[in-house]
Each structure stands twice: as structure tokens, then as C-alpha cells.
Structure 1
Amino acid sequence: MILGMSDELERLEAEVREFQANADLDFVDARRLSTVVNSLQGTLSQVVHRAKVRGDHLLAGQSACTRVASTCQITPTAAADRLCVGEQLESMPKVAQALSSGEVGYQAASVICHLQKHVAELEVHIDEEMWIDNARRFSIKDLSGIAASTWHAVNPEGFCLDVEENFERRQLFISETAGMYRVDGWLDPEAGAALKSAVEALAKPLGADDARTPRQRRADALTELTYHAMEAGTMPRRNGVRPHINVNTTIEGLKGELGAAAS
């Protein structure tokens, strides 16, 4: 049986290699290709869930999420998502079929599966056909909003507990390396939305000649926001001094003389 499954996977790998080698990408139907990829993501989710049920991760001395992240070369968050989808698809055959046929995409199926996982705590089973229809009609963003509202209506205590747990995950890292600063972290939904709105307001192109990439514009916008806050004079003092930047230079550097030390 294992040999047969191995043969099937080898045939799939061969078909993919042939497609990638011979397909004219200028004429590939992106929608059809996406349907195939989404369907395989659903299959992968079911595969890793069954591996978890078998306890494969225990043999490696790892959690199921860590095992999937390592095996599939994805983040722990993505691994947890695949495990959730794989588990819930087993009890939602209509959603599984819709994902397999391309009627809904993987992200939409993921939203539905996570909702089912949340409401299952109260032994509630969602209407699969209704949610498949929702997935066809709404964007992923809107579908996620509807799912969140449904979860809150069905299980407000569970919803609020999850919100509190997410809030506790907030963190921000600022590190200096190779002459640059790296900023990374997690914000709660309200703070994230506020920051996103402020950055986007300042990240618009400055005319047709603005050659900055979107990422560069966002970085410049965050810098501008920081300077606005510092120059407003409203930030708290530390040791009697408001936040400021020290710039060290030399007389030669200010004059721009050749060979002067960098500022």
C-alpha cells in the first residue's frame, strides 16, 4: 500500500516537472493553475493531520506543529493552519469537495475550517452549503469578518478569550545590524489597523518620478511618523530630556572636506 502511494506521488512529481519545463507561462490560465494549487494545499492539510493522528511527530520528539513546519518548510503559523484545515475537512465533506473542485480557494476553506473549530467547542456544526456560498460571494477579508462575527455570536466567551490571548502576543523587536535597523513584531488588531492606516496615508507615491518601491515608501512613511511624533514636543521626558537623536560629526565633515570622517 505504501509503495502504491509512493508511485502515485512520483507520478504527480513527474507531471509537475513536465509542466514546469514545457508550459508557456504567457498562456497558462492563472485561475486553473490556482485551482490545482489550492486543491493540493487541501490534500497536504489532510496528509499532515493524519500524520498527527498517527503520532509521527512523537517519534521525532516534536510537537505536531513543529514537525509540520520543519517537514513542509513553512512557518509554525502556517503549519498550525494546515493542521486545523486537515482536521476540520474530515467532518466537512462538502467543503472538502468544494476545495478539491476549485469551487472555493484554500484561504476561504481555511476561514471556514477555523470557524468550525471555534464553534465545535459548543458542539455546533456550521451549515456547509451556506458557507461555501459565502466563500463564492465574498472576498477573503469580508468572509473573515463574517466568520468572526458568527463566532462571537455563537461563542462570545471563546471569542473574547482568543482576543485576550492574541493581545498578550503583542511584541516589538528593534535591532541594529550592518548599519541598518530591523523592526519586527506583532500588534493587536486595533493598534495594527491604526499603524497601517497612518503609514498608508504617508506612503503614497510622490508623483510619476517617484522610483521608490512600495516597501521603501512604507519605510519612509514610518520614519516620517516617528519624526512627527518627536518634533511635536508631546512625548514624555526621560531624565528631563525629550526623545531626540544625537549626530556626531567633525568640523571637516561639516565642511565636506575630502577625507573627512563619516558623520
Structure 2
Amino acid sequence: MGSRDAWQLDGEDLKSEVLDLVRARHELQSRMVLLIVEMFSREVLGGKGFRAIAQWLHGSTNLEIGECSLLVGLARLLMLEPVVADAFHRGVIDALKARQVASFCQHPPKNMTLADVDKARGILLSLASKNIADCDAVRAAIRRIEKQYGNREDGVPVGEDSERNEFYASKGLYGRVTVKGDLDAVNGARLITLLSSLSAPTPEKDGVKDTRTPALRRADGFCELLRRYERAGLGPIEGGVKPHITVTASAKDMTDLKVLKDLLPSTDELGFAWTDWVGPISIDTARMLACDCTVTRILLDENGVPLDCGKEARTATVPQRRALAVRDGGCAFPGCGTPSGWCDAHHIVHWNDGGPTDLDNLILLCGHHHHRTLHHTEWRVEIGPDRKTVFYPPMSVDPHQHPIGGNSPPTAA
């Protein structure tokens, strides 16, 4: 590998160095697996406070626990499969395919003889070593072998075995949550099917192409799936209440009213709110969450100890949402075609600033325009004299900030 900057390399040099780095990465990964195998044979974690190597690795680096578990799991498998381990360490196959082949050889159909397993191992390694082969090709070969040798007494095939499922949701940088999982074929297909329509491109009404990347569309679809499940009230009771997000913020932070701020002279303005699972979030996001939810006010003393708990207040009733669906037809933002069932009710004047929960202070907004536009940019919205929505773009979009009429279905004309 050279020491020249990337801009100094021609096309052939770029390709050559990338391939060199791929080989170097595999060599480092191979070395890590060898060292972890050696750690299994020694008490290297004694007195360190860690129950397992994966936990130690996670606690000592910035690697996610899921990645650490996969690496340690590969080391365990290769300890039991020396032939597969040899192919991996020689660079014939990569870590993912090594894990596939080793897992099958450790859990073959019951009526496969040792000679049959050896033969299958050789076939799978030969397939996995080809540059054109991917994990799906190896998995398909394993399915054919399982069909040839398997029977009902062997139980569920590995690909459909839900007891092997794994799902990780871990807090990362900036309070974001990293989601990783390994699902059986049936539940995986169920997830992909549910996400398919929710993550499809949605052109604007004027025909403008959806500019979201496929990854962002899938993420938006997954978030919409969670929102629909939550709104349907299907979640189980936990701790005596339905699943919910608890957001803690000071009244000073949550309001723009100077009169209210003056009533709280001893209250600090922290500039952020706090959630149980992901820690601090911005005040804008806290206000967005308060737009269409059940709110409970809890009065704290100067030491943060609760003094009084107010009644829950729902910010938008079911009849109000139905009326909003008739008036706005869906997301009220100009040109957006998101249906009303996918939208949240947004307070124009925030409820904490004295904004009433009535139709003249509520509009429907989709996740994109609710989360990313109205709460985090300079866009403004009002209800006009005709009681329809009017939007005002920021100066960066329109220096004159000409008003733009919001969406309105024909039935609301």
C-alpha cells in the first residue's frame, strides 16, 4: 500500500490499492479470530468484571455489542470446524460465508453421516470461494442439501428456525439508535412485505420525483410501521401503562411565552429535553412529540422532586382528527400527497404557549414535514381567513416569503 494521497492515484492505482486494503482487512480479521480463539483457552478476563469476551470487547472499544458477538461467535465456530477455519485464514472465503458453512456443518440434518457432512463441507467451501458467489447462493445450496437429507424429525430448517432469531437496538452517537437483527425466513419476509408499500417512492402531487434514498425510504417506512402500531393501541401493558415515550423538559424550555418564563425565575433553561432510553433530545423534537400525544404535567420542586401530578390531556381528539382529515385531506404541506392516516396533528401555536386544541390551531402533517420541516426549519404556517392552511417559506427558499396555500381536498372547497 502506497503513501500517496488518493487524488494522486490514477484509475488503476486506485483499484489496486482498494484490493490491497480488502486483503489487509481480511488478514486483520483473521488475526483477531486467532487471538480470540487463544483467549478462550486462558483466563484472560479474570478479575476484569466482564462475563464474556464479547462484553469485554464492546466495553473496551467503540464496536457495537452485536458486531462483537458475531466476531466471537465466528471464533467459536471455527474452533469446531478446522477445515473451514483453514479456508478462512487463507483468505479463500470471507467471514460471513465461513460462518454459514461452519454453522451448517455443526448442525446438519440428523440422518447425514460424517462422510456426507465432509462431502457437503467441501461442496459448500468450493461454492463459497468463487468470486461470483454470495451468501444467498451458499444459503440456497444449504437448502438443497437439507431437502435431500432432511426429514420431519430433524425439526425446523436453520433458515426458518425462529429460536435462532436475534435483534439488537443499541444507543449510539447523538442518542441515535442502531438496529441490527437476524430473523428467520418467514418473519423476515413478513417484515419486508409490510415495509414494501410503506417504503415505496412517493412523488409529490406536482410530479416531482421522490429524492429520498432507498435506505431512507425503508427507515421512514419502519418508523411509520411503529407509529401505526402505537396509534392502534396494540401494545401490551407494561408497568401498568401502555408503551410510551417519556420526555422530561422544563416549562421554560418548552415555551416561547415571556409571561410564563417570568413566572419561573428560578427554573433553569437547559436547552434540551430528556428521554429514558436515548438521553437528551432537542427542544424542537420535544415540542414535536408533544403535538399529537397524551401529555401529563408533573410539577417539580427546586430539587427536581415531584410535588403534584396533573391529569392527562389528549392534544387532539378522534373527532378533531376526522375533521382535520376532511379539511386538509392529508398532509397539509403544499404538494405533499401523504394520506391523513399517515399524519400527525400539529399545533400551530404550541400547546405549551397557550395554543388551544381546536381546529383553527391544528393541521395534519406527515412525518417528513412534521419532524424535519416545521419543527426544525424556518417554515411557518397559519390558518387563513377562509380557515384553510397558508404556509410561509423561509427567506432561504423565497426572499420575499410569499404565502403558499396548503393542500385542500375538493370536498373542503
Q: TM-score range by the shorter chain?
A: 0.5 to 0.7
Q: Normalising by the residue count of structure 2, what TM-score does the alignment of the two structures yield?
A: 0.42
Take 1:49 and 1:193, find their aligned partners in 2: how far apart are those partners? 35
| Alignment partner, residue 52 of structure 1 | 40
Q: How many residues end up aligned between the 2 structures?
A: 227
Over residues 41-78 of structure 1, what are the superposed CA-to-partner deviations in whole Å (9 max), with x where a residue is unaligned?
12211211211221212331212221233345433332
Runs of at least 5 residues in structure 2 that lack an aligned partner in the other structure:
236-317, 322-340, 350-359, 362-381, 385-389, 393-413
Which structure would you say has the larger RCO, counting Cα contacts within 8 Å and 6 or more residues apart? 1
Instruction: Flag the structure with larger Rg.
Output: 2
Q: Cα distance, 1:135 vs. partner?
A: 0.8
Q: From the two aligned structures, give the one with the greater strand fraction.
A: 2
Please, which of 373, 380, 383 is the counterpart of residue 254 of structure 1?
383
Distance 1:120 1:69, change over 3 A: farther
Please, which of 120, 137, 141 is the counterpart of residue 142 of structure 1?
137
Distance 1:36 1:158, change over 3 A: farther
Matching of residues 115-154 of structure 1 within 5 Å? 115-119=104-108, 126-127=117-118, 128-137=121-130, 138-147=133-142, 153=150
| Alignment partner, residue 215 of structure 1 | 215
Matching of residues 73-222 of structure 1 within 5 Å? 73-119=62-108, 126-127=117-118, 128-137=121-130, 138-147=133-142, 153=150, 156-157=154-155, 163-166=161-164, 188-189=183-184, 190-201=186-197, 202-204=199-201, 206=203, 209-222=209-222
Over residues 136-155 of structure 1, what are the superposed CA-to-partner deviations in whole Å (9 max), with x where a residue is unaligned?
35321232354467579398
Runs of at least 5 residues in structure 1 that lack an aligned partner in the other structure:
1-18, 259-263
Q: Cα distance, 1:103 vs. partner?
A: 1.9
Over residues 75-104 of structure 1, what are the superposed CA-to-partner deviations in whole Å (9 max), with x where a residue is unaligned?
333223222322333454433332233321
Q: Is the contact made by 1:135 and 1:143 (CA closer than 8 Å) also made in structure 2?
A: yes
Q: Percent identity?
A: 14
Q: Is the contact made by 1:108 and 1:135 (CA closer than 8 Å) also made in structure 2?
A: yes
Q: From the two aligned structures, give the one with the greater helix fraction.
A: 1
Over residues 198-220 of structure 1, what are the superposed CA-to-partner deviations in whole Å (9 max), with x where a residue is unaligned?
43454348589543223332244
CA RMSD of aligned residues (A): 4.8
Distance 1:68 1:148, change over 3 A: farther
Report the residue type matching 1:67 in the other structure.
W
Q: Cα distance, 1:116 vs. partner?
A: 3.3
Residue 22 (str. 1) matches residue 4 (str. 2): yes
Take 1:58 and 1:120, find their aligned partners in 2: how far apart are those partners? 38
Distance 1:31 1:213, change over 3 A: same
Distance 1:257 1:135, change over 3 A: closer
Q: Is the contact made by 1:84 and 1:117 (CA closer than 8 Å) also made in structure 2?
A: no
Take 1:49 and 1:85, find their aligned partners in 2: how far apart are those partners? 10
Report the residue type matching 2:139 in the other structure.
S
Take 2:44 and 2:113, find their aligned partners in 1: how far apart are those partners? 28
| Alignment partner, residue 14 of structure 1 | none
Q: Cα distance, 1:188 vs. partner?
A: 4.5
| Alignment partner, residue 6 of structure 1 | none
Q: Is the contact made by 2:128 and 2:134 (CA closer than 8 Å) also made in structure 1?
A: yes
Take 2:169 and 2:71, find their aligned partners in 1: how far apart are those partners? 26
Q: Normalising by the residue count of structure 1, what TM-score does the alignment of the two structures yield?
A: 0.61
Over residues 110-136 of structure 1, what are the superposed CA-to-partner deviations in whole Å (9 max), with x where a residue is unaligned?
212233343599995842422211213
Q: Is the contact made by 2:124 and 2:141 (CA closer than 8 Å) also made in structure 1?
A: no
Report the residue type matching 2:4 in the other structure.
N
Q: Cα distance, 1:222 vs. partner?
A: 4.6
Distance 1:187 1:33, change over 3 A: closer
Residue 35 (str. 1) matches residue 23 (str. 2): yes
